[in-house]
Structure 1
Amino acid sequence: MKQIKRRLTQAAIASTLGGVIAGAAGMVDVQPANAQAAYGSYVGIGAGFGLTEEADTGRGSGLDMVLTGRYRFLRMPVSLRATAFLFDNFTLVPTVSYDYPLSWNTDIYLGAGASFPIGDDDNPGPLGNQTAFVLQPGIDYMFPNSRLSAFGSAIIAFNGYRNGGNTAVAIQAGMGYQF
């Protein structure tokens, strides 16, 4: 009988001690440190420059004006983006990006989408002259205490040129207004 009583006492002490440890662990709210993603969707204007040329014609590189926009989903590190190259063969580039915060006001991202040239097939723009799959690495910076943002990216259009099948590469940078 003494042995049963001793075992019950040990079990009661062990369960009480376990409950205290579990309760203390529940009160401590330890979360890993991480940066908050740059807040804000924006529309912007800037300059784009084609770095490559069509193999057969030697056209495609050159300076162009770009309009760009970003819609950031607030609860996910994902954004919808669109860029339009305006002058040298209008090209629309919609992408979906995964955004990675470097600090509270700076994101780097990698987007995937397609380029859709609309215009003269004989005059390739900075991203070529045919529809192509694109990758878009880039960076966004949101200025503190302001609605201004700065953006920069490269757009790589795989098989963007109709003649020669070259990959087209363009870089862009500019300023945006957050909304």
Structure 2
Amino acid sequence: MERTKLVWLLGTAITLGMIGSQPAGAEPAGLSGSYAGATLSADQVMGLQGLQNPLTQTLIQSSGVSSKAPGASALALPAAQQYQGRLDLENSDLSVRGSLYVQGESTAIVPSVTYDIPVQGSTNVYAGAGYALINPDGGATPLGDRNGLVLSAGAESGVLPGIVVYGNAQIGVGTDSQTGNSPLRWQMGVGRRF
């Protein structure tokens, strides 16, 4: 079962790269530049939690969109804070990325290196590997409760000047000591380019 997840994750990244490929001589530009953003995991999106993340609120307020329904009180601040960033290595197909998950004493820091494939305009798909650094005293995180290899694949696109949307999947290879499983995590976010 775990091998199936890994094959699916890497296969998706390769397939997306092939779908977006263009004829020889017509190289797509792809997304260039670095960004930092606020991330929502799939479970947060389904419950509409995470909108009170400070960076998300800044981005929402700068867009002029309200994050609460008319007449409703502000959403409660969720315990989990999640961030992601990309450092573009100029003149290279590689990027250095980082993810941060904090919920009380539970923390996961995931530095990684990805191979970026430009597919069109300001859009990339990417795949890579990193290492999850889990706080051993903090309990479980969405990527498990112990340090280990993390594989990722995703897509990112510049949608407005200075604004990037991104989504990815991460699989922690054997990072759950209680079950021995490899947790799979889906997430998406909005970032600010710099």
Q: Give TM-score, length-normalised by structure 1.
A: 0.70
Greater mean deviation of Cα atoms: 31-40 or 74-83: 31-40
Q: What's the counterpart of residue 184 of structure 2? A: 169
**Amino acid aligned to 1:107:** N
Report % sequence identity.
27
**Amino acid aligned to 2:110:** V
Structure 1 residues 98 and 106: alpha-carbon distance in aligned structure 2, compared to 1, 3 A threshold: same
Runs of 4+, deviation exceeding 3 Å: none
Do 1:112 and 1:134's aligned partners in 2 also have CA atoms closer than 8 Å? yes
Alpha-carbon distance in 1 for matches of 2:95, 2:87: 5
How do 1:153-168 residues align onto structure 2 when only pairs under 5 Å count? 153-168=168-183
Alpha-carbon distance in 2 for matches of 1:49, 1:165: 22
Q: What's the counterpart of residue 115 of structure 1? A: 132
Q: Which runs of 5+ in 1 are unaligned?
A: 1-30, 51-62
Q: Which runs of 5+ in 2 are unaligned?
A: 1-23, 44-78
Q: What's the counterpart of residue 148 of structure 2? A: 132
**Amino acid aligned to 2:184:** V
Do 2:167 and 2:189's aligned partners in 1 also have CA atoms closer than 8 Å? yes
Matched, 1:93 2:110: yes
Offset, 1:94: 0.6
**Amino acid aligned to 2:37:** G
**Amino acid aligned to 1:98:** Y
- For residue 65 of structure 1, the aligned residue among 81, 87, 90 is 81
What value does the CA root-mean-square deviation take over the aligned residues? 1.8
Q: What's the counterpart of residue 35 of structure 2? A: 42
Structure 1 residues 68 and 90: alpha-carbon distance in aligned structure 2, compared to 1, 3 A threshold: same
Matched, 1:102 2:135: no
Q: What is the CA deviation profile of residues 29-52 of structure 1, one whole-angstrom value per residue up to 9, with x for unaligned ones?
A: xx71110121210000121247xx
- For residue 91 of structure 2, the aligned residue among 75, 83, 88 is 75
Structure 1 residues 93 and 49: alpha-carbon distance in aligned structure 2, compared to 1, 3 A threshold: farther
**Amino acid aligned to 2:116:** D
Number of residues paired by the alignment? Answer: 135
Offset, 1:143: 1.8
Q: What's the counterpart of residue 67 of structure 2? A: none
SS at match of 1:66: strand
Higher alpha-carbon Rg? 1
Alpha-carbon distance in 2 for matches of 1:35, 1:128: 37
Matched, 1:33 2:49: no
